[in-house]
Amino acid sequence: MITAGDFVEGKPTIVLLTRGLHLTLLAHDFTGTSGYWDIDAERARFCKRVVFYFYPPWSAVAYAIVANVTDAYDQNGKTVIEFVDWQIRGTTEANWAQFTNTAPGNRNPAHYL
């Protein structure tokens, strides 16, 4: 079973749980934006990597999407993360708490590694 820790590679990382409503993944140049998050933009900007636990409503598994952070900024009181070089690195049947190695029942959709 894959977990977010498998993708850190020694880099400050933010892990986000998303259904993908505002997640933008551009296939032509492998850039994207995270959507709007209630997190600190400065702390997110410090991260070098973002890992998405992408759990679309039509799927029985979650997708691990990994990318390199290029910027994070405030937009109307929410933080947007810009990233490049995104890749779908696999699927997992792990729940969110297992994927982030946090306490069972963890419902916070943002986690830092």
- Full pLDDT tens readout for the chain, 113 residues: 899 999 999 999 999 999 999 999 999 999 999 999 999 999 999 999 999 999 999 999 999 999 999 999 999 999 999 999 999 999 999 999 999 999 998 989 999 99
**Predicted pLDDT at 98:** 96
Cβ neighbour number for residue 45 with a 10 Å cutoff: 17
**Predicted pLDDT at 30:** 98
**Predicted pLDDT at 107:** 87
First to last CA, the chain: 18
